Structures are given as structure tokens and as C-alpha cells.
Amino acid sequence: MSINETSTGSVLFVDDERAVRLAGQQALELAGFDVVACDGAERALRHVGRDWPGCLVTDVRMPQMDGLALMARVRAIDPDLPVILITGHGDVPMAVQAMRDGAYDFLEKPFPSDRLTEVARRAVEKRRLVLENRRLRAALSGGEAAPGIVGRTPGIERLRATIASVADTNADVLVFGETGTGKEMVARALHAASARRKHPFVALNCGAMPEAIFESELFGHEAGAFTGAAKRRVGRIEHASGGTLFLDEIESMPLSLQVKLLRVIQERMVEPLGSNELIPVDLRVVAATKVDLKQAAAAGKFREDLYYRLNVVVVTIPPLRERRDDVPLLFQHFIVQAASRYNRDPRVPSPAQMQRLVGQDWPGNVRELRNAADRFVLGLEEAAAPPETQKPSSALSLAEQVDLFEKGLIQSELARHKGSVKAAIEALNIPRKTFYDKLKRYGLSREDFID
């Protein structure tokens, strides 16, 4: 069930007395609510789910399952779903205790219809905010299958789908993406969504490792294997056993070591320097590169057999210039992070500045955008409008941070669509009434975004 654009909201009204049920349903419908009226708790439970967009109004005294038991069942499904209890005069102490246990409010019989509609209106608005906050938090995190990967464009949705489909397998993965696109984040998402999540995630940047110590760092060594090797050292490969080994910039790995890595990948055995024994390892290899390894192999800069061994599952991360519609969401995400990190005011970018951000090519990709958000929060980048007065981020509640993010997101969508309400509503996927309510709440006007 969903709330239509002209509805005040949805109410599930439960009472075993037909006259009370019909009167309550009529009063709520006249006030603009979508009403589902039920004569018992079991029937009402069929309509309740974590995404149900309304409130529950229920009589306390009913046969079979009373209102308190119904409330307990509903709160087990979703503790944030508002429950309004209808009580008799003698039930007031019990109703007060029920509110301590999580009931939203109670109505004492007989109650006027305007009291019912007012309480229901407040409860539905609370429910709407809860569901929107969940949606925004999901957008910020990018979903459970890919934690930290923020975006809603088709390329990012495909990326998340690929991660979800291969994460819980043992297939080795090659991640391809330009500098700053988030290759390690993808590797960590693969690890977090796999059965290996409780075991080590071991990362090694092949481009930052001096060649003289590369072999020892990767494969380990025995005591006395070379001058200065006073004791045995466990290499990164052995340390990653049971988990995931992430090799970033694998194109930088020396050719002499690529053949040893190939053997590890094929046999799942590692031979430390100075040892004649092979040590079995249980790991998944995720390699990342910013170059075309096939071309590198053709040029003799990368082993062809290693390339084909790695080229089983390839995950490609789109550059930021190919998913410009994600820029507003990402920038708001980084602003909230930076404000918390630097203990600064979480400023909201103006429509003009957001338009400039969307229009840039971002050769440094997401990393460059994150740095821009840091500078913006620190006041090192000129804003088109003065920063809004906010509490320091350390004093902001989760709801206030979500409000800040939401306001900026609405601004950016209106700016991107040049003030078109219809286009912004479609992009945000919210009801028209909710959209206009938020414009009023945040003091925004579509005229400010029309060129």
C-alpha cells in the first residue's frame, strides 16, 4: 500500500464494535486519510509491514487478541510504527503504562472526531519522517550489499548489483577504475558482503612498495633468509588466509614476482623466502588496476597468463564524469562527514554552487570531490551564499543531520532541473504533497532555481 499524492496519510483502524469502527473510518476519510478498517487484530496484522506508510489506531478491549497484544506484535515488526490506543475511562492508568511501553498516544472514549484526526495526522507525519530517514540513510550508505558506495545512477546500481551477485562466492575479482573512483571501497564491500567478513581484509598497494622488500612483504620470509632477517615474518598472503587479499595498482607489481603470485592464485599455496615448504592459504584475491591489463600484457609490461587468471570476474567503476547526477548526493554525504570530522558547521551549498559542481569533469573522481567538500566545510572554498546558522555537527542529532542532507538534496535536484517541480519529484521519488511540505519546512522556493 502507498500514500497517494492527495492523501493526508494512511490509517489502520481496528475496533470490534461496528458502530465505533464505521464512525472512526468516516471521520478519518472526511479528513483526507486512506483508511483500512478491521474488526480484529489478526486481520489488521495482514496489512502491517516495515514499509507500511501509516499509523495504527486500535481499541484496547477486543476478543481473542486485545489492543495491547496487537501493539506488541506490531512493534515486533517495526518499533517505529505509531500505535494509538482507544481506551475506556477505567483504562487510563493502563494506557499511560502502554505509552511508556511505546504507544504513540491514546484516545479516551468518547472522543471527538477532530481529536482522532489530529492525533492521526501527527502520527502519520512522524511515520513519514521515519520512512524518509530510512531511505536517506540507505542512500547515504549505498545499501547493505555495498556499504559506503553512494549513488543512484544506473552505473552505480549495476556496480552494486554485481557486488551483490559475486560477493558471497570464492571467485577472484579484478576491479578496474580510474584514480580516485574508489577501488579499495569496492574491494572492502566485496569482503563485507562475503562469508569471509569475519576474517582479515589485507590491503597492499603494489605501486607504493619498494621493490627491494616487495617479495618479503608479500610472501614472508624465514629467519636467516637474507641479511637482517632475524626472525620469521608472516607475509601479507599468509596473513590474509581465511579472508581477502586486496592488491591495489597490481600493474605496478614487478614482473619477477608476478609468476610467484600466479602460482599462489592457481595452487592456493605460498612459499616464504628461505623456506622449502609450501603453506596452504585459503583466500580470495581482489586485484585493482587503473590501466588496461590486456594492453599492458601485449606491451610486455604485465604477464599475460596472470592477466587471464585474474580476468574472471571484472568489476568496472564508472568515473564521476559519467555519473554527474550522483554529484549532489555524494557532496552532501561528504559535507556531513567532514563537518563531523572537523567539528565545524555542516553548511548547505547554494544552488549556483551545486550547478558548478555538477558541471565539472572531476579528473580526480570521488576523491577530488571529497577534498572539495572538506574545503567547503572548512570555509576555504567560496560559496555562492553565506553559510546557514547551524549547531556544531557534534551537537547535531541523527534526525538533524538527515534534515540537513535532505534540504541540500532537494536544492540540488531543483537546481539540476532548473526549478521543475515535476522533474525534482520524479528524481526524489516522493509524493507531491510531501515535496511541497518540505519546501515550506526548509524555506525553499522553486523560483530561486529558475534560470
Q: Provide the number of structural domains found in the chain.
A: 3
pLDDT tens string 255-284: 989 999 999 999 999 999 888 889 999 999
| Residues paired with residue 244 on neighbouring β-strands, in sequence order | 201, 284
pLDDT tens string 305-361: 999 999 989 999 999 999 988 888 888 888 878 887 888 876 777 777 877 888 889
Using DSSP's 3-state secondary structure scheme, residue 206 falls into helix
Specify whether 165 is located in the same domain as 310.
Answer: yes
Specify whether 184 is located in the same domain as 308.
Answer: yes
Q: Is 145 part of any domain? A: no
Specify whether 311 is located in the same domain as 410.
Answer: no
Q: In this predicted structure, what is the pLDDT of residue 1?
A: 38
Q: Is 286 part of any domain? A: yes
Specify whether 297 is located in the same domain as 164.
Answer: yes
d(CA 120, CA 128): 12
Specify whether 13 is located in the same domain as 135.
Answer: yes
Give the CATH number for residue 425.
Answer: 1.10.8.60
Q: Is 310 part of any domain? A: yes
Specify whether 212 is located in the same domain as 85.
Answer: no
Give the residues of the chain that fall short of pLDDT 70: 1-7, 89-92, 133, 135-148, 346, 381-405, 448-451
Q: In this predicted structure, what is the pLDDT of residue 381?
A: 66
Specify whether 313 is located in the same domain as 350.
Answer: no
Using DSSP's 3-state secondary structure scheme, residue 279 falls into strand
Spatial contact of 204 and 252, defined as CB atoms under 8 Å apart: no
d(CA 244, CA 167): 11
Prior bond of 110 cis (ω within 30°) = yes
Q: Which domain holds residue 340?
A: 321-449
Q: Is 199 part of any domain? A: yes
Q: In this predicted structure, what is the pLDDT of residue 5?
A: 43
Domain boundary among 318, 333, 356: 318
Q: In this predicted structure, what is the pLDDT of residue 100?
A: 78
pLDDT tens string 186-203: 999 999 999 999 999 999
Q: Is 352 part of any domain? A: yes
Q: Is 149 part of any domain? A: no
Domain boundary among 111, 140, 169: 140
Specify whether 121 is located in the same domain as 225.
Answer: no
Cα torsion 404, 410, 411, 416: sign: positive
d(CA 106, CA 83): 8
Q: Is 146 part of any domain? A: no
Give the CATH number for residue 131.
Answer: 3.40.50.2300
Specify whether 293 is located in the same domain as 342.
Answer: no
d(CA 71, CA 102): 9
Give the CATH number for residue 260.
Answer: 3.40.50.300
Parallel/antiparallel/unpaired status of strands 269-270 and 313-316: unpaired
Specify whether 237 is located in the same domain as 334.
Answer: no
Q: In this predicted structure, what is the pLDDT of residue 145?
A: 52
Spatial contact of 58 and 15, defined as CB atoms under 8 Å apart: yes
Domain boundary among 298, 318, 338: 318
Q: Is 56 part of any domain? A: yes
d(CA 248, CA 339): 29
Spatial contact of 171 and 312, defined as CB atoms under 8 Å apart: yes
Specify whether 13 is located in the same domain as 124.
Answer: yes
Specify whether 309 is located in the same domain as 217.
Answer: yes
| Residues paired with residue 204 on neighbouring β-strands, in sequence order | 247
